[in-house]
Amino acid sequence: MTEALRFLNRIPGVVAWRTNVGAVSADHKGKRRFVRFGFPGLSDIIGWKTTDTYTPFGYVRYPRFLAVECKSVSGVITPQQQGFLDLVEKSGGIGFVARSCDDIAARMALR
């Protein structure tokens, strides 16, 4: 995931960061606390890619939401992860599974 994140952040117009999903239970000042972060299906890397588009009014720059689910060659995507990526795509964002930096380059139209 670190290599994928470094690769993404070298692409012009891309800002991306790692996200965590899970929960933790701990004692704080004598009380038991349970904290949940993220939600099931949230991608490993999220961010945006800025795109320039020509319109009748000139060039317009707009961001597109970016979600990358990092998996090993044999890794299996969960239904929640696929659902999140599908939602990102349906909403006009860029969402995909990456098993290597080559996958990222292909999906981001770098080659």
pLDDT, one tens digit per residue, over 85-100 is 999 999 999 999 999 9
CA distances from 55 to 51, 60, 89 (A): 13, 7, 23
pLDDT band at 110 (very low <50, low <70, confident <90, very high): low
Please give the backbone phi and psi of residue 13, each rounded to the nearest 5 degrees, phi first: 90, -5
Query: Residue 27 class from Cβ within 10 Å (0-12 exposed, 13-18 middle, 19+ buried)?
Result: exposed
Q: pTM of the entire structure? A: 0.85
Q: What is the DSSP string of 8-64?
A: HHTSTTEEEEE---EEEEEEETTEEEEEEES-TT--SEEEEEEEEEEETTEEEEEEE
- Classify 2-107 by CATH class: alpha beta
pLDDT tens sequence across 13-67: 999 999 999 999 999 899 999 989 899 999 999 999 998 888 898 889 899 999 9
